[in-house]
Amino acid sequence: MTTHRRDIPALPDLVFAAAAEPQRLAEWLPPPLDVVGLADDILILRHEGRLTQVRLSADLDHLRLSWESLADPTRRGTLTVSPLGAGRSVAELEVEPDDADFAERLLDALAKEVEVAFTAG
């Protein structure tokens, strides 16, 4: 599994909040993903016209968000946010199956959401 990285000019807590809070998650997930609903720890997504259920697991102590498709457990991923120093963070994303374009789109969308939500002034 390949780790994809993105430096983000914001504190790790803010980056993780943007990634993990359901209301924010619905704002930044790029097309063709669309959040349809959330029930407990199950996120319901529309992807290319089909509904998909994904189990989310957030580890607040380690700023790690993991997910796994309920229909296909081989489709999963983990996002970890770490401090980079001076108010910066690094977001590291692993997805299975590995799809570099999709991973980069997710990280770009997350960085943009953080910029709009927390650093625009």
What does the pLDDT look like over 38-57, one tens digit per residue? Answer: 888 899 999 888 999 999 99
Residue 121 has pLDDT above 60, yes or no: no
- What mean pLDDT is predicted for residues 94-102? 91
pLDDT band at residue 25 under the 50/70/90 scheme: confident
* Residue the block writes with tokens 């803010």: 14
Domain boundaries, the chain: 4-28+57-119
Structural tokens at position 34: 């669309």
pLDDT band at residue 26 under the 50/70/90 scheme: confident
Q: What's the CATH superfamily of 4-28+57-119?
A: START domain (3.30.530.20)
- What mean pLDDT is predicted for residues 68-94? 94
Gap between the Cα atoms of 50 and 46, Å rounded: 5
